[in-house]
Amino acid sequence: MTSNGAKILGFDKWVGTVAPGMQADLVVLAGDPVRTPGDIRNVETVFRKGVGFDSAKLCASVKGLVGLR
CA 18 to CA 23: how far, in whole Å?
Answer: 8
Largest CA distance in the chain: 39
List the chain domain ranges.
Answer: 22-69
CB of 58 closer than 8 Å to CB of 46: yes
What's the pTM value of the predicted model, to 2 decimals?
0.60
SS3 call for 21: coil
CA 30 to CA 35: how far, in whole Å?
Answer: 12
Q: What would the pLDDT profile of 13-64 be if each residue is shown by its tens digit?
A: 988 888 888 888 888 999 999 999 999 989 999 888 778 888 888 888 888 8
CA 22 to CA 16: how far, in whole Å?
Answer: 8
